[in-house]
Amino acid sequence: MNCRRSLRDILSRYLRIRPADIKFRYEVNGKPEVVEEQNEPELRFNVSHSADVAILAVSCNRAVGADIEAIREQPDCLELAKRYFSEREYREMVALSPDERRRAFFACWTRKEAFVKACGVGLSYPLTEFSVSVRADVAGAIEEISLEPNALSRWSLMDLHPGRGFAGAVVCENPPCRLACWDLQVQNLD
């Protein structure tokens, strides 16, 4: 899959310009955005990929973050959760069975990463300073933000189900958000 080519193709449909003509600039943290003079609808976007699956989240006038992960064996998931998750999330992970724990780890990780990507700071945002819902069988939600407690109402988190064996999440600024999903099959043209 050629993510860059697909990104240009999809954005060109919103911007009504040829894919090759789209110009990008990069925010201080390296996140790409369409240059202002081409971006009348004020598109914001975020891309994530894992294995052979990619997701692209696009919104108008609001920050957006997306993450996808292939669910795989993760024998050190409790160690990683203790290091990177909030105390609340870690306690919830410990209480789960090993099978639930693996799925919960990836659900929690994608929810957290989608949030920090939406904030525009990536993994420089302290992952231990906010909590999301942990269990994979519970709807994704941001449950607390220690650094900015009043910001809870500013964000909405939605789970994605990109296919068997994957976990995914999208976070949008200024809820409520409506999520529409399309499955685009792209051949590797390289």
For residue 24, give every residue at least 6 positions away whose Cβ sits within 8 Å of its Cβ, in sequence order, or none: 32, 33, 34, 35
Alpha helices in 67-135 (DSSP H): 77-84, 87-94, 98-119
Q: Which residue has the higher pLDDT, 119 or 91?
A: 91
Provide the b/e sequence for 134-167 (b: ≥16 CB within 10 Å). bbbeeebebeebeeeeeeeebbbbbbbebeeebb
pLDDT surpasses 90 at 146? no
pTM metric for this prediction: 0.90
pLDDT of residue 189: 43
Alpha carbon distance 190, 183 (integer Å) = 21
For residue 80, give every residue at least 6 positions away whose Cβ sits within 8 Å of its Cβ, in sequence order, or none: 74, 105
Contact between residue 132 and residue 144 where contact means Cβ atoms under 8 Å apart: no
What's the mean pLDDT in 137-148?
90
Domains of the chain: 47-53+62-173 (3.90.470.20)
pLDDT in tens, 55-82: 999 999 999 999 999 999 988 999 999 9
pLDDT of residue 1: 45
Alpha carbon distance 67, 49 (integer Å) = 7
At 76, the amino acid letter reads: D
Helix, strand, coil % (nearest 5) of the chain? 35, 25, 35
Number of Cβ within 10 Å of residue 183's Cβ equals 6
pLDDT in tens, 76-111: 999 999 999 999 999 999 999 988 999 999 999 999
From residue 172, alpha-carbon distances to 57, 78, 84, 104, 146 in Å are 9, 28, 22, 21, 19
3-state secondary structure of 87: helix
pLDDT of residue 124: 75
Percent above pLDDT 90 for the chain: 67
Which helix (DSSP H) or strand (DSSP E) does residue 157 occupy? Answer: strand 155-160
Alpha helices in the chain (DSSP H): 3-15, 77-84, 87-94, 98-119
3-state secondary structure of 125: coil
